[in-house]
């Protein structure tokens, strides 16, 4: 079996409202669909990422740089294919964009391999569990969003069957954001998972003030608590001063930075992102290292792929969803998805990632025509 063609399709879908975190604003949902065809076997077909500013560059890298070196390769020799692609980072200018392009193709190779073997990816990466606890990224800032509105938002999330939520913080003074978390905990009760994501919004002192103010509220983790220029040392300071589990990794495009976080004792959890990182192949290398240090693995976004990875390894945590307003794309592009029941979902046991695409949706929102 040989790779015959690779096609990448950029998708852009406008949102009906703006979503504000501590350091950004979102007005559209983007992704890249990748399909790999072979000469006499199955295909790999995935969608991955939310690259807004570099989407065109990543698609061009897939077509112009990765496709030519992979045509004729055996797609099941995934590590060989990954190594060939990764060699391009030595000479191409933007390594982050190159690694994002590698990630998209690598994910399609894993889907293809699962289909060729007749097995779901969750089994290919270890098969530790057949189910996972879904959480949702929520609690965005917005005009007129008081504590009562915030409580209503999270009660609705709980009613949808999510096991918990990751709440946006870091955009207000620490004590004001702590009041938001206290209000949410009061509404949803003690069994609901609450994580906090500051998106690098605070300095280390404000991060510690917030962490100490919410420590009694049973916080699952404190994500990216400090600003970029004090990243690893600041995170270590926060975890040592607050006793909260600190999470990072989504902003890194290769496993080396996450390796350093482990060695510097800066994190308890890594939420390295396969789409912004260097793909599933590289993510698994990091997961094996993290296990040796008893550092747990999360994953930023892409829940339909991430659930396979997180359920497949011993220390995997929760696939992360967005609301239908923040991410109308995921439920539309793959209409048939695992359902939630009592805070759990069953990982698809179909070969590969088990994705069946709505081609009319792709044709409507693709931006390459």
Q: Are residues 159 and 245 in the same domain?
A: yes
Model confidence pLDDT, tens digit, residues 15-55: 999 988 878 888 999 999 999 999 988 999 999 999 988 99
Q: Are residues 242 and 334 in the same domain?
A: yes
Q: For the chain, what is the domain count?
A: 2
Alpha-carbon distance 244 to 6, whole Å?
A: 44
**pLDDT class for 144, splitting at 50, 70, 90?**
confident
Q: Residue 287: inside a domain, yes or no?
A: yes
**pLDDT class for 352, splitting at 50, 70, 90?**
very high
pLDDT (average), residues 64-68: 98
Q: Residue 214: inside a domain, yes or no?
A: yes
Q: Which residues lie closer than 8 Å to 368 by C-beta, 6 or more apart?
A: 9, 10, 59
Q: Residue 351: inside a domain, yes or no?
A: no
Alpha-carbon distance 205 to 87, whole Å?
A: 41
Q: Are residues 130 and 179 in the same domain?
A: yes
**pLDDT class for 277, splitting at 50, 70, 90?**
confident
CA distances from 170 to 150, 196, 247 (A): 16, 9, 14
Q: Which residues lie closer than 8 Å to 88 by C-beta, 6 or more apart?
A: 65, 66, 69, 98, 102
Model confidence pLDDT, tens digit, residues 319-348: 999 999 999 999 999 999 998 988 999 999
Question: What three-state secondary structure class fits 323?
Answer: coil
Average pLDDT, the chain: 95
Q: Are residues 286 and 151 in the same domain?
A: yes
What DSSP assignment string belongs to 208-245? HHHHHHHGGG-EEEEES-B-GGGHHHHHHHHHHHH-PP
Looking at the predicted structure, is the pLDDT value of residue 354 above 80?
yes
Alpha-carbon distance 290 to 284, whole Å?
A: 10
Overall residue count recorded for the chain in this entry:
369
Q: Are residues 104 and 135 in the same domain?
A: no
Look up the CATH number of the domain holding residue 88.
Answer: 3.30.390.10
CA dihedral 152, 171, 23, 259 (to 10 degrees): -90
What distance separates the 2 farthest-apart alpha carbons in the chain? Answer: 61
- Residue 266 corresponds to which tokens in the numbers above? 């800066």
- What local confidence, expressed as pLDDT, does residue 341 receive? 87
Look up the CATH number of the domain holding residue 187.
Answer: 3.20.20.120
CA dihedral 329, 333, 339, 345 (to 10 degrees): -80
Q: Are residues 88 and 142 in the same domain?
A: no
Helix residue ranges per DSSP H, 245-297: 255-263, 280-292
Looking at the predicted structure, is the pLDDT value of residue 93 above 80?
no
- Residue 306 corresponds to which tokens in the numbers above? 């991430």
- What local confidence, expressed as pLDDT, does residue 255 receive? 85
Cα 229 to the center of its chain, rounded Å: 23
Q: Are residues 264 and 318 in the same domain?
A: yes
Q: Are residues 215 and 337 in the same domain?
A: yes
Tokens 């979503």 sit on residue: 19
| CB 78, CB 103: distance < 8 Å | no
Looking at the predicted structure, is the pLDDT value of residue 136 above 80?
yes
pLDDT (average), residues 346-362: 97
Q: Are residues 59 and 135 in the same domain?
A: no
Q: Are residues 57 and 149 in the same domain?
A: no
Q: Residue 352: inside a domain, yes or no?
A: no
Model confidence pLDDT, tens digit, residues 194-239: 999 999 999 999 999 999 999 999 999 999 999 999 999 999 999 9
Q: Residue 238: inside a domain, yes or no?
A: yes
Domain that holds residue 340: 123-346
Q: Are residues 132 and 87 in the same domain?
A: no
**pLDDT class for 369, splitting at 50, 70, 90?**
confident
Q: Residue 239: inside a domain, yes or no?
A: yes
Q: Residue 140: inside a domain, yes or no?
A: yes
| CB 283, CB 103: distance < 8 Å | no
Q: Residue 26: inside a domain, yes or no?
A: yes
User: Any idea what DSSP says for residue 63?
Assistant: I
Q: Are residues 115 and 127 in the same domain?
A: no
């Amino acid at each position: 079996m040989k790779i015959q063609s690779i096609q990448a399709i950029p998708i852009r879908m406008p949102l009906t409202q703006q979503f504000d975190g501590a350091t950004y604003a979102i007005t559209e949902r983007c992704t890249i669909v990748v399909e790999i065809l072979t000469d006499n076997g199955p295909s790999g077909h995935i969608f991955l990422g939310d690259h807004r500013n570099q989407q065109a560059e990543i698609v061009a890298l897939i077509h112009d740089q990765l496709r030519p070196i992979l045509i004729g390769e055996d797609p099941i020799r995934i590590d060989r294919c990954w190594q060939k692609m990764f060699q391009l980072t030595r000479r191409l200018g933007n390594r982050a964009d190159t690694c994002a392009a590698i990630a998209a193709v690598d994910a399609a190779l894993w889907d293809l391999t699962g289909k060729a073997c007749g097995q779901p990816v969750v089994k290919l990466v270890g098969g530790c569990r057949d189910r996972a606890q879904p959480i949702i990224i929520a609690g965005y800032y917005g005009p007129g969003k008081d504590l009562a509105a915030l409580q209503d938002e999270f009660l609705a999330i709980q009613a949808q069957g999510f096991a918990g939520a990751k709440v946006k913080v870091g955009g207000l003074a620490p004590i004001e954001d702590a009041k938001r978390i206290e209000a949410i905990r009061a509404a949803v009760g003690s069994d609901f998972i609450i994580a906090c994501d500051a998106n690098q919004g605070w300095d280390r002192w404000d991060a510690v003030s917030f962490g100490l103010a919410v420590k009694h509220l049973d916080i699952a983790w404190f994500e990216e608590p400090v600003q970029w220029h004090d990243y690893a040392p600041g995170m270590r300071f926060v975890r040592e001063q607050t006793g909260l589990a600190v999470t990072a990794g989504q902003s890194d495009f290769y496993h080396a930075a996450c390796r350093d976080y482990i060695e510097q004792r800066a994190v308890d959890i890594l939420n390295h992102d396969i789409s912004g990182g260097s793909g599933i192949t590289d993510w698994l290398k990091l997961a094996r290292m993290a296990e040796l240090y008893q550092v747990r693995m999360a994953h930023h976004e892409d829940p339909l792929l991430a659930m396979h990875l997180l359920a497949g390894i011993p220390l995997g945590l929760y696939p992360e969803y967005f609301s239908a307003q923040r991410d109308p794309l995921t439920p539309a592009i793959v209409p048939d998805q695992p359902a939630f029941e009592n805070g759990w979902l069953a990982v698809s046991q179909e070969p590969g990632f088990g994705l069946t695409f709505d081609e009319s949706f792709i044709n409507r929102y693709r931006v390459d025509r």
